[in-house]
């Protein structure tokens, strides 16, 4: 996902982006190859879907998802075949160690509202597991299992939704993990990724139904949003408001605009041997060695909440804009605080965000905040 959400894409308009920043990211793709049999690989492309390279080709076992730990320059890859989440160097792709083991077919990984890593299980009891970002196992979050679970997202109230590929439904769980029953259980043939749109609708990628379908905030089916998407799996969102998805039927990464209209193949079919894309992740390019390192600065208070107010104007003299980045390094908004405004984050998904600004002395200041409701 996740990450690379649809809700975030609404904020990424041309009026709030600097052109050089908008293109300053890479695209990573998990290739499931022949599913339970290799070849398997993690591919890397520039923002235009060009200059591709095989980023990881070893120590994979039916890879499922990609999650970057920016603070330590590592990347996690979940592997369904061996029940492991493996850790690699985020710059070179070299294997480092196992992050977690003993999982019954890990699929999606996503940072939750509590800053823990949520991991879905394809097999076993199907319950959602949680880990600290150090790899320490916290425990099972959901009280009920979801078989063949492969998509997750949170609504504005912090409730968790999990898709079941084999069950053909999306299950809803409360903020405490309590089972709230099926949320969407009609018109689905094999759901994979799910995400909430700006208006609160749930978008469901239907792998077997060759489409993306829309449900309202009560789980009522509203129709097909994207058609002709064969074996769709993996999604992330571009700075221009478009979104990209993996198409196993065409062995490509397809780009759509905000209305669900096909734009182009961002990564052409079969590039670098791509067979079955099942995760697509955007990552902001890390600062080069010639750029200033980040310095911890308190820009806003509180550090946890939904509304943040500028609290340290002295540190920002000569600066009028804060940039907000998601936990995966994607620029999601710019805040102009010349009039003393803060950031109302009540309409973005819960999780970890980074506020950044270039300070008058040339250093880069950064503050970590947690959006929580």
Per-residue pLDDT of the chain (373 residues; tens, 9 = 90+): 333 333 333 333 222 333 333 458 899 999 999 999 999 999 999 999 999 999 999 999 999 999 998 878 899 999 999 999 999 999 999 999 999 999 999 999 998 888 899 999 999 999 999 999 999 999 999 999 999 999 999 998 889 999 999 999 999 999 999 999 999 999 999 999 999 988 899 999 999 999 999 999 999 999 999 999 999 999 999 878 899 999 999 999 999 999 999 999 999 999 999 999 999 999 988 655 444 456 778 888 888 888 888 877 666 666 667 888 887 676 777 776 654 567 888 878 888 888 888 776 667 788 889 888 6
Q: Which domain holds residue 32?
A: 6-284
338 and 226 in a common domain: no
How confident is the model at residue 316, as a pLDDT? Answer: 66
Enter the DSSP assignment of 147: T
Note whether residue 70 is domain-resident.
Answer: yes
Instruction: CATH number of the domain at 73, please.
Output: 2.120.10.30
231 and 352 in a common domain: no
Note whether residue 319 is domain-resident.
Answer: yes
How confident is the model at residue 138, as a pLDDT? Answer: 97
Instruction: CATH number of the domain at 306, please.
Output: 2.60.40
Note whether residue 140 is domain-resident.
Answer: yes
Domain boundary among 284, 308, 341: 284
Note whether residue 1 is domain-resident.
Answer: no
Q: Quick check: 182 and 166 in contact, CB under 8 A? A: no
Q: If residue 186 lies in a helix (H) or strand (E), which one and from where to where?
A: none
Task: Give the strands of the sheet with 343-344, arranged side by side.
Answer: 300-301, 307-310, 343-344
122 and 62 in a common domain: yes
- Structure token pair of residue 196: 């909430």
Domain boundary among 284, 319, 352: 284
144 and 97 in a common domain: yes
- Report how many domains make up the chain: 2
The CA distance from 305 to 28, in Å, is 31
Q: How many CB atoms lie within 10 A of CB 75?
A: 25
- Structure token pair of residue 148: 């063949």
185 and 46 in a common domain: yes
In angstroms, the Cα distances linking 172 to 109, 180, 199 are 17, 5, 18
Strands 364-371 and 294-296: parallel
312 and 260 in a common domain: no
How confident is the model at residue 79, as a pLDDT? Answer: 98
DSSP secondary structure of 283-294: EEPPPPTTSPPE
How confident is the model at residue 328, as a pLDDT? Answer: 66
The CA distance from 77 to 323, in Å, is 28
How confident is the model at residue 230, as a pLDDT? Answer: 97
Domain boundary among 238, 255, 284: 284
């Amino acid at each position: 996902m996740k990450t690379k959400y649809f809700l975030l894409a609404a904020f990424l308009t041309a009026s709030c982006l600097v052109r050089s920043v908008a293109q300053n990211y890479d695209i990573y793709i998990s290739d499931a190859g022949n599913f339970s049999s290799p070849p398997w690989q993690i591919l890397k492309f520039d923002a235009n879907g060009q200059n591709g390279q095989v980023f990881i080709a070893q120590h994979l076992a039916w890879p499922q998802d990609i999650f970057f730990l920016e603070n330590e320059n590592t990347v996690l890859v979940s592997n369904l075949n061996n029940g492991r989440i493996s850790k690699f160097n985020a710059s070179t792709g070299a294997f480092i160690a196992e992050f977690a083991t003993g999982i019954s077919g890990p699929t999606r990984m996503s940072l939750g509202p509590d800053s823990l890593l949520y991991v879905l299980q394809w097999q076993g009891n199907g319950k959602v597991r949680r880990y600290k970002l150090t790899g320490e196992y916290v425990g099972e979050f959901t009280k009920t299992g979801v078989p063949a679970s492969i998509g997750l997202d949170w609504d504005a109230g912090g409730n968790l939704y999990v898709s079941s590929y084999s069950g053909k439904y999306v299950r809803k769980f409360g903020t405490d993990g309590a089972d709230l029953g099926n949320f969407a259980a009609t018109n689905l043939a094999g759901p994979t990724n799910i995400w909430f749109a700006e208006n609160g609708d749930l978008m469901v990628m239907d792998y077997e139904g060759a489409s993306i379908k829309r449900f309202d905030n009560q789980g009522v089916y509203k129709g097909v949003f994207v058609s002709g998407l064969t074996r769709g799996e993996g999604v992330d969102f571009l700075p221009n408001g478009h979104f990209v998805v993996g198409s196993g039927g065409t062995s490509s990464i397809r780009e759509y605009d905000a209305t669900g209209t096909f734009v182009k193949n961002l990564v052409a079919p079969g590039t670098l041997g791509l067979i079955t894309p099942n995760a697509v992740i955007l990552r902001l390019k890390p600062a080069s060695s010639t750029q200033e390192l980040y310095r911890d600065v308190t820009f806003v208070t509180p550090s946890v909440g939904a509304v943040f107010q500028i609290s340290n104007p002295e540190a920002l003299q000569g600066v009028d804009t804060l940039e907000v980045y998601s936990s995966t390094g994607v620029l999601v908004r710019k805040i102009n605080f010349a009039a003393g405004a803060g950031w109302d984050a009540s309409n973005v998904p819960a999780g970890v965000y980074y506020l950044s600004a270039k300070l008058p002395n040339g250093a880069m200041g950064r503050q970590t905040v947690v959006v929580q409701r």
